[in-house]
Structure 1
Amino acid sequence: MADTAALLKLAETEVAQEIPKEQYVPVLTSPPFVFVDGTFNTRDLGLVPGSPLRAGFAFRSGALFRLTDNGRAVLEGKLGIKRVFDLRSPEERGVAPDPELEGVENTWIESSRPDSTPDLDRFIPSEGAEGYREMYLEVIDVYRESWKAILEHVRDRPNDPFLVHCTAGRDRTGVLAGMLLALAGASREAITLDYLLSRIGTEPVRLMLLQFAVAGTKATSQEQPGFYNLVSLRTSSWNAFVDGVQEEYGGFEQFVAGKLGFSKEDMAKIKTNLTKP
């Protein structure tokens, strides 16, 4: 496993700047990352430095539609994934459906409403922190039914490793990962590190994701004000979101109990299953 300080430094590389292959390949082939051929940004949340989650249970990644036979074998065999949760929109799934994997249950729950198109003007001030706060607060609300299903899996199926993904495996998936880590009692530093690691994890597809972001935001170009703040991952952006969750709901645990309807007994079991074999 790479040194935490070195990981953080590399993860803070601006998205406009390329990370040399000789720097990112050793990271992406070492814990907490897992090399799964045909996808990217795959890691074990239990192996993130400082994570209280148990290893080999909760995984996150980018889209799976380009999985190779070797990638399938890793998910089905080495990692023993039993369930995949897809957080993408109907349009994303229509263009690139998840593959059928042997012995793996695919779960997709349509969100309560479509995601809003990000307003780049909201990402101009404070390096995009306020824009991220609004965007992620929408995500945590819109995908409630998915969060509920994932937490029910943690509660009821502690022996079935699972993987959660969206398209890039960084924003929607990052919100879920932050929630799981928070419920398990992770420090803010450990949660933020996992969030920032997506900067390294998406480097192999950085140019593709930049083009995807231009199309998704209807930006005139990558140079439009606010664009690079939107596509960058920064500690300040994550902190603005966490502060928003605290102000809106009282924190992640209160969101799960109050908005998703989990009881104290449920919460205790979820925490135990996240952290203990």
Structure 2
Amino acid sequence: MNKDKYTRLLPIEGAYNVRDLGGYPTKDGKQVKWKKLLRSGDLNELTLQDLNYLKDIPVITDIDFRSFQEKEAAPDKRMESLKEYVWLPVDAGDMNDIKITDVTLIPKMMEEAYRTIIRKFQNEYKRFFEILINRQAAPLLFHCSAGKDRTGIAAALLLSALGVDKETVMQDYLLSAEYIKGKYDFLIRMQPALEPLTTVRPEYLEAALQVIDKEFGGMEQFLHRNLNVDSEKLKELYTE
């Protein structure tokens, strides 16, 4: 086995939290294909070596969940293999512009931001799945700024649609806590109370999953009715 081919965290120097969703087992006894579905933080500081690594995969679709302000301030560097860049802004607001006086409320604000994403940004995630299913989009990379919240929800929805169990979905989500270490070190040193804003916690994703269960009839119904996901087609493309 080529060890590099089956690497969860990719050896990217100029971005945080760049990882492969391949290898996760599905309930029907298969696994998610490697080197097809990648998730990451922002791509504005990719090195030439990084760009060549992503080109060699080769990444052909870049889906950007960041706000207009975020993408204009730090535009993605694009690898030569890229055929399509798709901007799907998911901007819940609550995760940005939190005043220092609000720090004790950050965990609850993060939970509410996750609920807001599920309720208000279904069109963006619906388009995400349309691209995955209806276009020859893979290998595909999707990202936001840190690759933990908007991207974390996208990955949770995608893995769920592919038949990955909830426990594994949560484990993948929580990997961001390890893989974005360093990105916010200066901020946390200056304002330790902001730490809940810079990481992931089980209760954040659980807040989103509870909305799906209580307001939309559960994950399967939400994916099918609200996001128009053809799970069988998705599995044909991305599991083996």
The TM-score with structure 2 as length reference comes to 0.82
State how far apart, in whole Å, the 2-side matches of 1:245 and 1:206 are.
30
Match of residue 68 from structure 2:
90
CA shift at 1:122, angstroms? 8.7
Identity across the alignment (%): 29
CA shift at 1:223, angstroms? 4.9
State how far apart, in whole Å, the 1-side matches of 2:237 and 2:145 are.
27
> How many residue pairs end up in the alignment?
227
Q: Which deviations, in whole Å up to 9, do the C-alpha atoms of 1:47-83 show, x marking residues without a partner?
A: 45x5632211110011001111101001111x21110
Match of residue 17 from structure 2:
41
* 1:193–1:257 CA distance, 2 compared to 1 (3 A): same
Unaligned runs of 5+ in 1: 1-29, 212-220
Match of 1:254 among 218, 221, 227: 221
CA shift at 1:154, angstroms? 2.2
Matched, 1:107 2:86: yes
CA shift at 1:110, angstroms? 3.9
Matched, 1:222 2:191: yes
Alignment of 1:1-277 (within 5 A): 31-47=7-23, 50=25, 52-77=31-56, 79-104=57-82, 105-111=84-90, 114-118=91-95, 124=104, 128=107, 130-157=108-135, 160-207=138-185, 210=188, 222-224=191-193, 227-262=194-229, 266-276=230-240
* 1:169–1:110 CA distance, 2 compared to 1 (3 A): closer
Counterpart AA for 2:40? S
After superposition, the CA RMSD in angstroms is: 2.7
CA shift at 1:208, angstroms? 5.2
State how far apart, in whole Å, the 2-side matches of 1:149 and 1:246 are.
21
Counterpart AA for 1:268? E
Counterpart AA for 1:222? Q
Q: Which SS does the other structure have where 2:183 is aligned?
A: helix
Q: Is the 8 A contact 1:84 1:164 kept in 2?
A: yes
Q: Is the 8 A contact 2:184 2:198 kept in 1?
A: no
The TM-score with structure 1 as length reference comes to 0.72
Q: Which moved more, 1:162-171 or 1:98-107?
A: 98-107
Counterpart AA for 2:75? P
Q: Which deviations, in whole Å up to 9, do the C-alpha atoms of 1:6-60 show, x marking residues without a partner?
A: xxxxxxxxxxxxxxxxxxxxxxxx8311112311101101145x56322111100
* 1:170–1:196 CA distance, 2 compared to 1 (3 A): same
Q: Which SS does the other structure have where 1:190 is aligned?
A: helix
CA shift at 1:124, angstroms? 4.7
Runs ≥4 residues deviating over 6 A: 119-123
State how far apart, in whole Å, the 2-side matches of 1:67 and 1:39 are.
6
Counterpart AA for 2:232? A
* 1:74–1:156 CA distance, 2 compared to 1 (3 A): same
Q: Which deviations, in whole Å up to 9, do the C-alpha atoms of 1:181-224 show, x marking residues without a partner?
A: 1111112221111111001110132325659xxxxxxxxx7355
State how far apart, in whole Å, the 2-side matches of 1:62 and 1:223 are.
22
Q: Which SS does the other structure have where 2:182 is aligned?
A: helix
CA shift at 1:166, angstroms? 0.4
State how far apart, in whole Å, the 2-side matches of 1:110 and 1:41 are.
19
State how far apart, in whole Å, the 1-side matches of 2:173 and 2:53 are.
23
Unaligned runs of 5+ in 2: 1-5
State how far apart, in whole Å, the 2-side matches of 1:158 and 1:54 are.
15
